[in-house]
Amino acid sequence: MEGADEFMKYRSPLVSRYASKEMAYNFSDRKKFTTWRKLWIYLAKALGLPITDAQILEMESHELDIDFAMAAEEERKLRHDVMAHVHTFAHCCPTAAPIIHLGATSCYVGDNTDLIMLRDGFDLLLPKLARVIDRLANFAEKYADLPTLGFTHYQPAQLTTVGKRACLWLQDLAMDMRNLQRARDDLRFRGVKGTTGTQASFLQLFQGDHDKVEELDRMVTEMAGFKKAYLVTGQTYSRKVDVDCVASLASLGATVHKLCTDIRLLANLKEIEEPFEKEQIGSSAMPYKRNPMRAERCCSLARHLVALMADPLQTASVQWLERTLDDSANRRISLPESFLTADIILSTLQNITEGLVVYPKVIERHIRHELPFMATENIIMAMVKAGGNRQVLVRIFASDTLSALRVRGQL
């Protein structure tokens, strides 16, 4: 059957099932390799030298028409992805072939493209997080005055309100917004730094003119849409940058896991539910069930997002001297997956926060059941004012007799 072979291959659920088209494209091969070509064009424009307008125009005219089959065959032979794409680009740009990748190392296209993808990934996530905060803020305001049982140790405690509890979630999400924005704004460009970060190859091209090398770095950085480049690099930008980026996403994962776990607990109490579609089926065998499947999905993916934090930490810790290549395979997986996972978590959480259902009568019934016990603190304070000993009174109210009465429903 035509196309049936596609179902014989593993496909990441993050792309095939969950993440948005925009985020999937941001980490796609097409985005990656067309960005490589853009960077080669920026370099050629900024180098000046004896590079002609015709060579640059030729490169620009073939920026998007990548022969992926040819690139794959070249990589099979050369065992080098960047050189495979240099050859593929040169094949369709014979006039410009001699100057493509001039003076650059593989990390010129590799690392700079990664930084562009990280920046653009944050630009996709930040509006989604803002929408979740907005929807949840509306919910908190709507239910600001609705009393509900507070819980500590998942045991009934003092009263709070449904809106106040939502503010706990909101405060954490606001901290995540700050963290993501800060990670995004702190990103710089690797720039044009040469093979070990010394810019020696470009200094030779410019016959020892340091000012021209600095200007080259500045021009390419600006063309790529960055205001600043890292002042110091080895062959790569510091992998601590990846740590900072993934840390902000993992922290978001922790927030979402806590928030959605709360919703799952409240769904069990039948106080609050996530939206349930008209034709949705809660269980294949138990149709009466209303499983919190969206919140469960968020928790499941959030665990993966939090676990990914170990990758950049370990990668940054084992980079020898100016660089080792054991970062490459790991980063191909951990960086895209962090953003893809955060993307679907936020989309799902937006759906949840836009349709949360509250059951005030159930909440009221739970409050009434616990009111006699919640009154004990006020009773104790009144008795102390009348001359009683607080410590003795607390022991009395926490006695086995009181607990037994509570279990039997006699209080």
307-317 pLDDT tens trace: 999 999 999 99
Query: Rounded to whole angstroms, what are the CA distances from 373 to 156, 339, 367, 376, 403?
Result: 9, 47, 10, 6, 10
Retrieve residue 221's tokens. Answer: 């950085």
Which pLDDT belongs to residue 401? 46
With a cut of 90, say whether residue 229 has pLDDT above it: yes
Residue 278 banded pLDDT, cuts 50, 70, 90: low
C-alpha atoms less than 13 angstroms from C-alpha of 111 in its C-beta half-sphere: 30
Asked if residue 199 and residue 94 are part of one domain, the reply reads no
Q: Mark out the alpha helices in 105-239 (DSSP H runs).
A: 106-142, 162-186, 200-205, 210-223
Pairwise CA distance, residues 25 & 31, whole Å:
7
Asked if residue 93 and residue 215 are part of one domain, the reply reads no
Asked if residue 358 and residue 322 are part of one domain, the reply reads yes
Which pLDDT belongs to residue 13? 87
Pairwise CA distance, residues 297 & 257, whole Å:
10
Q: Report the catalytic residues.
A: 153, 283
Report yes or no on 368 lying in a domain. no
Mean pLDDT score of the chain:
90
Q: How many domains does the chain have?
A: 3
* Mean local confidence (pLDDT), 382-394: 85
Which of 350, 352, 343 has its CA nearest to residue 19?
343
Which of 279, 326, 336 has its CA nearest to residue 113?
336
Give the pTM: 0.89
Asked if residue 399 and residue 356 are part of one domain, the reply reads no
Question: Residue 211 belongs to what domain range?
Answer: 106-276+290-362
* Mean local confidence (pLDDT), 115-134: 98
Which pLDDT belongs to residue 17? 84
Which pLDDT belongs to residue 277? 65
180-210 pLDDT tens trace: 999 999 999 999 999 999 999 999 999 999 9
245-273 pLDDT tens trace: 999 999 999 999 999 999 999 999 999 99
| Total residues found in the chain within this entry | 411
Which pLDDT belongs to residue 408? 46
* Mean local confidence (pLDDT), 2-15: 75
Domain boundary among 83, 99, 115: 99
Report yes or no on 4 lying in a domain. no
Asked if residue 256 and residue 112 are part of one domain, the reply reads yes
Which pLDDT belongs to residue 4? 60
Asked if residue 29 and residue 91 are part of one domain, the reply reads yes
Report yes or no on 231 lying in a domain. yes
Asked if residue 242 and residue 148 are part of one domain, the reply reads yes
Q: Of 5-9, 43-47, 322-326, 381-385, which range is least confident?
A: 5-9
With a cut of 60, say whether residue 282 has pLDDT above it: no
Q: In what helix (H) or strand (E) does residue 156 lie, and over which residues does it extend?
A: strand 155-161
Domain boundary among 99, 131, 148: 99
Domain boundary among 79, 99, 119: 99
With a cut of 70, say whether residue 402 has pLDDT above it: no
58-107 pLDDT tens trace: 999 999 999 999 999 999 999 999 999 999 999 999 999 999 999 999 99
Asked if residue 213 and residue 140 are part of one domain, the reply reads yes
Report yes or no on 19 lying in a domain. yes
